[in-house]
Amino acid sequence: MSKIYETELLKRLPKAFKNRIRSPIKTESKQISIYDMECVERLTEKNWKEITASFLEDNSCINFLSSVNFKYYLPAIINVSLMEDAKYLLAIEIIIIMLDRPADINNWDEDFISKWSGLRIEEYFLIQDWLFWLCYAREDDTSSILRAIETIELLILEMEN
């Protein structure tokens, strides 16, 4: 995929997520390890634009963020992957796993719905376009990413209903 496409995604990113705010409620998880809570604490001290690939490389704290903070830090993952050409970060794998869902929305769990519903249409479109970029940029099996793209499409359809 061309650098022009990456540049376009990077231009759209701050506009799409412009009104997202951090919440003082850092996590809603009842079962979180001390290590993961420390990671959540370190992450939520920063603005999403300050997050680096080295921070996202091997920590899973994105799983434990409150739904508001998850939506706030989601652009950080997209930004880092594009800016630092980091396509295989643990945070990216977590996003793909989260979105690799069955098409039957009745089987979606509460945590998934709280984190992924309520995004604005421009946010969904940007995430979907970023996932397309990942499909072309990565050299591994992209079937999970394609299912993730379909899940975003279902979220968009749900939003429109």
Our CA dihedral for 36, 37, 39, 40, rounded to 10 degrees, sits at 120
User: Stretch 105-110: mean pLDDT, rounded?
Assistant: 91
Tell me the per-residue pLDDT of 62-78, one tens digit each, with 9 for 90 and over. Answer: 999 999 999 999 999 99
User: Stretch 53-68: mean pLDDT, rounded?
Assistant: 91
Question: Residue 1 — very low, low, confident or very high, per pLDDT cuts 50/70/90?
Answer: low
Residue 47 CA to residue 73 CA, distance in Å, equals 8
Q: Which residue has the tokens 């963020």?
A: 65
The total number of residues written for the chain in this structure: 161
- Determine the pLDDT at residue 102: 87
